[in-house]
Structure 1
Amino acid sequence: MQFSTQPLWLVGFRPFFALACLSGLALPVLWALFFSGTLTPPPAPFSPTQWHAHEMFFGFGWAVMGGFLLTSTKNWVKIRGYHGVALILLVGAWLLERAGMWFAGALPPLVFRLSSNLFLASIVAMLLWSLIRHRQSDSFRDNYFFLIILPLFLVAKNLLLSDGHFQAGASMTMGLFRVAFLVMLERTLTQFMKNALQATILRNALLDTGIKLLALLLVVASLLPVAVAAWIGLLLGLLLLGRFVYWKPQLALRRLDIGIMYLGYLAIVAQLLLQFIDYLVQPGWIGSVPLHVFTFGAMGLIIPAMLIRIVNGHTGRKVVFDRLDKTVLWIMIAGFVIRIVVPQIDPAGYLHWISLAAASWFVSFSILAWRYIPYLLQARVDGREH
């Protein structure tokens, strides 16, 4: 069997979810070691904080996003999807980007820019090509949100690493991930609640579209007057909270595998409300807490649950969360509490809590890697090709 025909290269989620597991266990630990002074970051034309934000969003985050979108877009527009050599080249570009970020200080600026943008530019172009070329067979009319946000990730990425534009880049990046999460949560939670709990949750086209348009507007929050961005964020948070009440959380929270996604939804609301306080009530008081509420809450809670569900379902296995899977989710919830809540009670132990939060990611994603990477390397158990 040729290397390009191995099961790993059959569908986009296979190689990229493997990379997500490996980067999810390694990147937070590396940052904790840098932050504590145990390790010295390699020389780079950007700060260690910029490296950390970039690698979590565009290393880990886009391994997840890339795997999800490469898999889902082919289903949305009913095509075979990218596989084989195309995926090998994308993975090579992702690995090149990680190396470029690590050795950035030794690279000529042009080489660094090429290595830093090759993966994202390539995968965005491929995703856009699928969505635009097969628009007539698209199952979701609101996929135009992806047509808008995907190219903007390139802008956000380069702002994030630019001198003097880090905050704007971080705000834009979080805003783009927020839009993607809101689109995904609408679709998946509707399906999960119906299939698992025989429950129908509120779906109102005007409300749903309004929520996504407000989220899209917040992508450029750094370009808006502070008061305008603050009130838009507050309005979005309140609309999300109101819709949440009608999404039957009293049922969802009885099941950890679905309930944790509801907690991730609430983390998006909490981030928006905290951002409003930071903008207007007491500027600068809460520092990076809103950003980490999003990364540890929305990303940290939703992603492992989705990864478990997708890997099982798309390798022909039953989507059942056993004790070990639930342990992973509980550890991630503990990581959120350790990183966000406990430092507010014990700020003197801040360094200690960052290390423990990184350890929670290490343990959780190590379990996921040990358990699910073998599934990604094997053919489907139900005999289907992909």
Structure 2
Amino acid sequence: MNVFDRLAAKPLFMCSFRPFFLVTAIYGVALLLGWLGFLAAGVGVPAVPGGPIVWHAHELVFGFGLAAVAGFVLTAVPEFTSTAAFGRRVTIAMLLLWAGARLAFWLSGAMGSMGEMLAALLNSGFMAALVVLVAPRLWHDPERRHLSFLWGLAAMWLAVTGFHADVLRGVYPMPWVLAGVGMMMVLIIVALSRVSMRIVNDALEAERLRRAAQYTDGRTGGLSRRPDEDDDELLDYRARPPRRNLAIFGVALYTAVALALPGSAISGWIALAAAAAVLNLLNDWHVGRALLSRWALMLYTVYWSMALGYALIGLSLLGVPVAPSAGLHLLTVGAMGVSIFGVLCIAGRTHAGYALDTRPWVQIAAVAIGVAALVRAASGLPGAAAAGLQAMSVVAWAIGYGLAAVFLGAVFVRARPDAGTGCEEVMEDVDAKA
């Protein structure tokens, strides 16, 4: 057995999500700590075309964000389409392509036009490979129920390619990063509509059991409520396509208009419309006490971050004295950061053969990432102590994803503890504290 085969045989490469989710958490910490060093102490960051802000934004969206996207779709698409899992060699090849794209972009400034071309080929090539891998399975699925993933990935490919095309022709490329943020929001809506169906309905079932136990225990104590009261509140949750599609349309429309007419009042009004569409999507989530469960509430806050982010962006474009970065960071640090953390915890553990983690670190990490988003957004308000708030945001983010790297990393590098042999969800009851 050669070195490559020995590496591929490790549990880390059993499924695509394992290495990609692990590097997502690690890179998320390293990237933001590097940015804090630049902000607080002037520590150098890679000299890429466009400058430090472009490096930071590009790597947050197209590095950290797309690592999580790759891990999710390479695992979820075979499950959704009832096809075989992508093999270990595909996983390693895609991971090396992602890492090569990161290195090439970091060195693109120092290497000149040759480095810029290499970064363009590897970054665009990574997205192209992802689309090519999943497109046949999504397209040939008899009901084509998950084609929205394909359109979202194709649009993200366009954003990555547009960024590097502008770099190669000497144009400031940041608008394409902002377009990438919009496409990330679309992919989050599409992915969470699938994940939330299970999470919210599990919370509803737990609430039904709690009420049934309460009724049974209290029958001799004069409890007057019948077990079927309030059943309307506990109907199964459905992520209804009309509301989801309206939210996707609103976000996509704002992204397209902002790319074509940056800074315009028109894009400001459309950003407010996108915020309203996301808030409308939340009407499906109002399921009573079950919403307060750990996982359902975490995913619920993702949509609030998204809605408030677009609202602040819209108000800023219409003249309200708040920096556009306030809304933008609610989208990236808030909606993207919390949703990726949630997917790492939920899909990462269950597809590795573990029950959902019940330990306190999950709440601590989730709250830390949420605080990072709120504090970073607050730094864009008039009169705010921007430097101090930005530093606090980075520290909170590093705590959240640092905990994820430690506790989830231990899961991703180990063999499954259940009867499963691949990427399927947990096959039997296992220790939720492992």
TM over 0.5: yes
Alignment of 1:10-159 (within 5 A): 10-133=14-137, 135-137=139-141, 141=145, 143-159=146-162
Alpha carbons of structure 1 residues 249 and 159: separation in structure 2 relative to 1, 3 Å? farther
Distance 1:233 1:42 in 2: 32
Q: Verify the 8 A CA contact 1:90 1:119 in the aligned structure 2.
A: no
- 1:116 Cα offset (Å): 4.3
Q: Verify the 8 A CA contact 1:69 1:127 in the aligned structure 2.
A: no
Question: Cα deviations across residues 64-117 of structure 1 (Å, max 9, x unaligned)?
Answer: 111111111111112223222221121112221222222222224234332344
Alpha carbons of structure 1 residues 164 and 248: separation in structure 2 relative to 1, 3 Å? same
Q: Tell me, what secondary structure is at the counterpart of 1:382? A: coil
Match of 2:280 in 1: 242
Match of 2:298 in 1: 260
- 1:316 Cα offset (Å): 1.0
Q: Verify the 8 A CA contact 2:302 2:338 in the aligned structure 1.
A: yes
Match of 1:179 in 2: 186
Alpha carbons of structure 1 residues 324 and 138: separation in structure 2 relative to 1, 3 Å? farther
Alignment of 1:263-278 (within 5 A): 263-278=301-316
Match of 2:175 in 1: 168
Q: Verify the 8 A CA contact 2:81 2:137 in the aligned structure 1.
A: no
Alpha carbons of structure 1 residues 341 and 222: separation in structure 2 relative to 1, 3 Å? closer
Match of 2:400 in 1: 364
Indicate the larger mover: 96-105 or 57-66.
96-105
Alpha carbons of structure 1 residues 2 and 191: separation in structure 2 relative to 1, 3 Å? same
Distance 1:207 1:258 in 2: 18
Q: Verify the 8 A CA contact 2:97 2:122 in the aligned structure 1.
A: yes
Q: Verify the 8 A CA contact 1:27 1:56 in the aligned structure 2.
A: yes
Structure 2 residue identity aligned to 1:105: G
Distance 1:31 1:304 in 2: 20
Match of 1:210 in 2: 246
Alpha carbons of structure 1 residues 168 and 78: separation in structure 2 relative to 1, 3 Å? same
Question: Cα deviations across residues 269-328 of structure 1 (Å, max 9, x unaligned)?
Answer: 11121122122244x742311111101210122221221112210111111332122211
Q: Verify the 8 A CA contact 1:59 1:98 in the aligned structure 2.
A: yes
- When Rg is computed on C-alpha atoms for both structures, the one with the higher figure is 2
Q: Verify the 8 A CA contact 1:253 1:260 in the aligned structure 2.
A: no
- 1:18 Cα offset (Å): 0.8
Q: Verify the 8 A CA contact 1:77 1:131 in the aligned structure 2.
A: no
- 1:204 Cα offset (Å): 3.6
The one of the two structures with greater contact order (alpha-carbon pairs below 8 A, sep at least 6) is 1
Indicate the larger mover: 175-184 or 99-108.
99-108
- 1:160 Cα offset (Å): 4.0
Structure 2 residue identity aligned to 1:168: P
Q: Verify the 8 A CA contact 1:178 1:215 in the aligned structure 2.
A: yes
Structure 2 residue identity aligned to 1:326: Q
- 1:118 Cα offset (Å): 1.9
- 1:30 Cα offset (Å): 0.5
- 1:380 Cα offset (Å): 1.1
Alignment of 1:288-299 (within 5 A): 288-299=325-336
Alpha carbons of structure 1 residues 5 and 147: separation in structure 2 relative to 1, 3 Å? same
Q: Tell me, what secondary structure is at the counterpart of 1:73? A: helix
Q: Verify the 8 A CA contact 2:305 2:331 in the aligned structure 1.
A: yes
Aligned pair partner of 1:192 in 196, 199, 207:
199
Question: Cα deviations across residues 170-197 of structure 1 (Å, max 9, x unaligned)?
Answer: 3211110111011122222222111222
Q: Find out whether 1:330 has 2:367 as its counterpart.
A: yes
Alpha carbons of structure 1 residues 224 and 154: separation in structure 2 relative to 1, 3 Å? same
Q: Verify the 8 A CA contact 1:77 1:139 in the aligned structure 2.
A: no
Question: Cα deviations across residues 124-172 of structure 1 (Å, max 9, x unaligned)?
Answer: 434444333453336652x333322323323322444635443421321
Distance 1:345 1:261 in 2: 30
Match of 1:321 in 2: 358
Q: Tell me, what secondary structure is at the counterpart of 1:288? A: helix
Query: How much is the aligned-residue C-alpha RMSD, in angstroms?
Result: 2.4
Match of 1:230 in 2: 268
Distance 1:269 1:235 in 2: 10
Q: Verify the 8 A CA contact 1:41 1:48 in the aligned structure 2.
A: yes
TM-score by length of 1: 0.90
Question: Cα deviations across residues 32-91 of structure 1 (Å, max 9, x unaligned)?
Answer: 111234302233333100000011011111111111111111111122232222211211
Identity %: 22
Distance 1:126 1:302 in 2: 20
Unaligned 5+ runs, structure 1? none
Distance 1:120 1:262 in 2: 32
- 1:202 Cα offset (Å): 5.1
Indicate the larger mover: 307-316 or 33-42.
33-42
Distance 2:134 2:22 in 1: 23
Distance 1:210 1:364 in 2: 32
Question: Cα deviations across residues 190-242 of structure 1 (Å, max 9, x unaligned)?
Answer: 22111222343354433332332333333312344534433333223213213
TM-score by length of 2: 0.81
Q: Aligned residue pairs: how many?
A: 383
